[in-house]
A and B are shown apart, each in its own frame.
Chain A
Amino acid sequence: MNYTFDFSSIGSYLPVLFNGILVTIELMAVGATFGVALGIFCAWARALGPIWLKPIVAGYVELIRNTPFLIQLFFIFFGLPSIGIQLTEMQGAMLTMVINLGAYSCEIVRAGIQATTKGQFEAGWSLGMTRFETFRYVVLIPSLQRIWPALSSQIVLVMLGSAVVSQIAAEDLSFAANFIQSRNFRAFEIYFLATAIYLALAITLRQLLRGLGWWLFPRKATR
């Protein structure tokens, strides 16, 4: 093997790389926030919602969980314009991430809700809480606490999966790597560096979510 590694040629492209990192973080933040919110709504609908809503949500969850993220992305970005819905690359990427994480987190949150015993609901109602208040204070918060580790790993998986949004030209970290590679032909070096950055992002995100869990749920879980 007579190949000399040359990481110095990446130097002049650092702004591109930095911009890519910021876009990946932005995608992850938007995707995680709205995705989990959608997931909580769907979990409520599936576990406690009106009867007509249940099959719709179940269909959405199964459809998303059994198709690849890449195809969802292509369908939303390339397919929807033909029925009149035009999205920019970033909108397409964000929408797909929200829809994707929404389905996965629905199943995770639902598992937490279903682990709540019936007595908890009844205790809430007997204190004069409305159905919504019971859900909000008695069911949801302990449920989220219970499933927080699973939810955290799913958010990390979605962040890593977001690397494929470069395929619709959303300018994230993997797009930056592709761009630099096409300019300086140092493919291995730049992908190696991008992979290391993704690893650092994943580790940081996991720690952040763990910290967020301690901050959100300071009390011990009641089981």
Chain B
Amino acid sequence: MTEFSTWDILRNLLLATRSTIQLSLATFLFGGIVGLILLFMRTGKRRALRRFAWGYVELFQGTPLLMQLFIVFFGISLVGLNVPPWLAAGLALTLWTSAFLSEIWRGCVEAIAKGQWEASSSLGMGYFQQMRWVVLPQAFKIAIPPTVGFSVIIVKGTAVTSIIGFVELSKAGTIVTNATFQPFVVYGFVALIYFALCFPLSMSSQFLERKLNVAHRNH
């Protein structure tokens, strides 16, 4: 039996961390795009679109990420397509993220005073113009801290994709454990690597919140 040094364990885990980072970034990007579309649907004037966005958010916030992953993973293969785990993982995480982000951003849009909508409306602006020039620039500032905070939840969410066989940090942890029989050390390292990824994000979210709040108090 080969002996594994601590460095061997750590090196293999760090290699797998790249996949965690890639998946997190892709999820954040695509989830953000879909979330923005949902935000427009939710705050817009069309009743049917508002209902749809509401139902979408309820569905994805009210069910476990693990079940969404399984449904996407097994659902697409029903159509006869062979889905690689990374695609299923990315797709499910994108759908899940977009629901949460659109709900966070809706809160930020609703925090903008009603007078702003009325003022821009009285200037003859349409809904998209109002959003583009008046509401979103102001909502953006409020939205930064919770959005950065949610990115921590995305990084942690990618751990669940190991269950459908996507090889990222958690899956690598399981593989390395099976080879070394040292779960305490391996999962300890895995936890520390996740901590190293998430803690700076949490801290910057808190920092931004404090900083932007001070700016907010002054007017």
**Most chain A CB inside 10 Å of its own CB: which residue of B59, B182, B188, B195:** B195
| A39 to B199 Cα, complex, angstroms | 20
Cβ–Cβ contact B194 & A68, under 8 A = yes
| Residue B159 lies at the interface, judged by CB distance under 8 Å to chain A | yes
| Residue B86 lies at the interface, judged by CB distance under 8 Å to chain A | no
| A156 to B62 Cα, complex, angstroms | 8
Neighbour of A198 across the interface among B64, B162, B187, CB < 8 A:
B64
- For the complex, count residues of B whose C-beta is within 8 A of A: 41
Proximity string of chain A (39-50) to chain B, C-beta cutoff 8 Å, 1 when within and 0 when not: 000000000000
Proximity string of chain B (146-171) to chain A, C-beta cutoff 8 Å, 1 when within and 0 when not: 00000010011111101100000010
| A203 to B58 Cα, complex, angstroms | 9
Cβ–Cβ contact B63 & A198, under 8 A = yes
Cβ–Cβ contact B66 & A164, under 8 A = yes
- For the complex, count residues of A whose C-beta is within 8 A of B: 40
Neighbour of A67 across the interface among B71, B157, B198, CB < 8 A:
B198
Q: Which residues of B contact A115 (CB under 8 A)?
A: none
| Residue A222 lies at the interface, judged by CB distance under 8 Å to chain B | no
A-B contact count (CB 8 A): 122
Closest to A72 in B: B191
Cβ–Cβ contact A194 & B67, under 8 A = yes
Contact A62-B67, Cβ < 8 Å, known A68-B170, A75-B187: no
Neighbour of A163 across the interface among B66, B170, B174, CB < 8 A:
B66
| Residue A83 lies at the interface, judged by CB distance under 8 Å to chain B | yes
Contact A202-B202, Cβ < 8 Å, known A63-B195, A79-B188: no
Q: Which residues of B contact A198 (CB under 8 A)?
A: 62-64, 67
Cβ–Cβ contact B80 & A1, under 8 A = yes
Shortest A53–chain B CB gap in Å is: 21
| Residue A74 lies at the interface, judged by CB distance under 8 Å to chain B | yes
Q: Which residues of A contact B190 (CB under 8 A)?
A: 71, 74
Cβ–Cβ contact A160 & B64, under 8 A = yes
| Residue A167 lies at the interface, judged by CB distance under 8 Å to chain B | yes
| Residue B53 lies at the interface, judged by CB distance under 8 Å to chain A | no
Cβ–Cβ contact B66 & A174, under 8 A = yes
Q: Which residues of A contact B70 (CB under 8 A)?
A: 177, 187, 191
| Residue A3 lies at the interface, judged by CB distance under 8 Å to chain B | yes
Q: Which residues of A contact B74 (CB under 8 A)?
A: 187-188, 191
**Most chain B CB inside 10 Å of its own CB: which residue of A69, A74, A83, A194:** A74
Contact A78-B187, Cβ < 8 Å, known A71-B173, A160-B64, A202-B63: yes
| Residue A12 lies at the interface, judged by CB distance under 8 Å to chain B | no
| Residue B108 lies at the interface, judged by CB distance under 8 Å to chain A | no
Q: With contacts A70-B163, A75-B188 known, what are 4 further pairs, Cβ within 8 A?
A: A3-B78, A67-B195, A191-B70, A199-B59
User: A residues touching B (Cβ–Cβ < 8 Å)?
Assistant: 1, 3, 62-63, 65-72, 74-75, 78-83, 156, 160-164, 166-167, 174, 177, 187-188, 191-192, 194-195, 198-199, 202-203
